[in-house]
Amino acid sequence: MNDENRNSKIRGCIFGGAIGDALGAPIEFASYESIVQKYGKDGIDGYVEHSNGFGEFTDDTQLTLFTIEGLIRFIIRGRCKGISSLELVMYHAYQRWMYTQGEIVKSIYYEKISPKNNGWLINEPLLHKRRAPGLTCLASLRRDVRIDRELGSLDYKINDSKGTGGIMRVAPVAFFSPNPFSTAIQIAALTHTHPLGYLTAGFFAEIIWNCFEGDTIIDSVMKTISLVRNESNFDCEEIIEILQEAIQLAKEYKDGSISLTVQECIEQLGGGWVAEEALAITVFVSLVYENNFENGVLAAVNHSGDSDTTGSMVGQLLGVWLGIKTIPQKWIDNLIGSTIIESISKDIIEKTYYRFNSYNNPRELDSYWERYPGW
Ligand SMILES: [Mg+2]
């Protein structure tokens, strides 16, 4: 794959996610009936939140941005200091998101969280807005590690949540880690410690990675299933079962052997309020619309379930598969905060992806430390 293609896939994924999130945001809690009643028989066909036609992303994208920030800082720290803890660096990144939400953060190291001399992302005013943040993420990050000692992890349960807060923020792991499944499950388990809350995140990051490497969506899903079955010790059969249901539904919908509408198929898979349903809906919609970003993302938000999360995840998957050029330009131009998305995509492309293995010039690293301090 050439550089242009890789850049297009990375930008497609990050923009696609933010756009799907922004499209779904105003109808996150609306039933399908009320959506068609208000917007016509096809539901929404563009941004409807602001009267000037602009769209605005929510916590799904905010947390994805802080995931990217954490991953870059993790790499920078490792190269500069020779030692880096993924869990701690990611925890600090999410604590900075908490700060933007007006929460009192309880880190031992306050300077790692507060905006002063702490990189660029936390200093973006637009991010200091509460956009229906997920309650589990908030509760998990409110824990005071001075008292509670341990962070959420595969070995240390802090809750029994399989909400979508883990899966909806891990797609960019695919651009950083040689092993997206295991990296994503660790990151998701910081806040969601029901196995379905974090294992689904591993599936999603691995599927995104396979698509990034050039596999079709169906091949990416099948490869991920066989990787998890053959090379991990986790029991993922419940996830595999619902994925197979999604694949079968997509096949039957496409060959006309069922008479359900796309929206009815989505609702058959669930509302997407829990992670395995969000994953299944994402795979179903992306398979049905594998050649059409616009229609895919609209289908992913026009249903009774968790529209911004399924919109964001379908946007990420179709975006990485189809690339940035398939995303309608008007949705990029009218996205509030598109310059933030553009900057961070550039950082992935220029500073991290290509040079992931060639950060040998310490002076260059020093200058990068300013934008992404390594903690
Ligand atoms: Mg949201």
CA 131 / ligand 1 centre spacing (Å): 7
Does residue 47 register a pLDDT over 70?
yes
Average pLDDT over residues 51-59: 97
For residue 375, the one-letter residue type is W
Full 3-state SS string of the chain: CCHHHHHHHHHHHHHHHHHHHHHHHHHCCCCHHHHHHHHCCCCCCCCCCCCCCCEECCHHHHHHHHHHHHHHHHHHHHHHHCCCCHHHHHHHHHHHHHHHCCCCCCCCCHHHCCCCCCCCHHHCHHHCCCCCCCHHHHHHHHCCHHHHCCCCCCCCCCCCCCECCCHHHCHHHHHCCCCHHHHHHHHHCCCCCCHHHHHHHHHHHHHHHHHHCCCCHHHHHHHHHHHHHHHCCCCCHHHHHHHHHHHHHHHHHHHCCCCCCHHHHHHHHCCCCEHHHHHHHHHHHHHHCCCCHHHHHHHHHCCCCCHHHHHHHHHHHHHHHHCHHHCCHHHHHCEECHHHHHHHHHHHHHHHHCCCCCCCCHHHHHHHHHHCCCC
This prediction's pTM: 0.96
Other Cβ atoms closer than 10 A to 287: 21
Percent of the chain whose predicted confidence (pLDDT) is above 90: 81
CA 362 / ligand 1 centre spacing (Å): 39
Out of 158-167, 314-323, 362-371, least confident range: 362-371
What does the pLDDT look like over 266-295, one tens digit per residue?
999 999 899 999 999 999 999 999 999 999
Q: Which of 313, 9, 269, 272 is nearest to 170 (CA)?
A: 313
pLDDT for the residue 200: 98
For residue 184, the one-letter residue type is A
pLDDT for the residue 70: 96
CA 23 / ligand 1 centre spacing (Å): 11
pLDDT for the residue 358: 53
Does residue 354 register a pLDDT over 60?
no
Give the separation between CA 71 and CA 353, rounded to whole angstroms. 11
CA 278 / ligand 1 centre spacing (Å): 13
pLDDT for the residue 42: 93
What does the pLDDT look like over 124-142, one tens digit per residue?
999 999 999 999 999 999 8
pLDDT for the residue 97: 96
Does residue 108 register a pLDDT over 70?
no
Give the separation between CA 302 and CA 263, rounded to whole angstroms. 7
Give the separation between CA 306 and CA 266, rounded to whole angstroms. 11
CA 148 / ligand 1 centre spacing (Å): 27
CA 52 / ligand 1 centre spacing (Å): 21
pLDDT-derived band of residue 352, with 50, 70 and 90 as boundaries? low
pLDDT-derived band of residue 353, with 50, 70 and 90 as boundaries? low
Q: Using the Cα atoms of residue 138, residue 139, residue 142 and residue 146 in order, give the sign of their dihedral.
A: negative
Rg (CA), the chain: 19
Average pLDDT over residues 13-20: 98
Q: Let me know if domain 3-58+158-364 sits in CATH 1.10.4080.10.
A: yes
How much is the mean pLDDT over the chain?
Answer: 93
Whether 309 and 24 have beta carbons less than 8 Å apart is answered as yes
pLDDT for the residue 18: 98
CA 39 / ligand 1 centre spacing (Å): 21
Give the separation between CA 317 and CA 295, rounded to whole angstroms. 13
Does residue 152 register a pLDDT over 70?
yes
Whether 39 and 320 have beta carbons less than 8 Å apart is answered as no
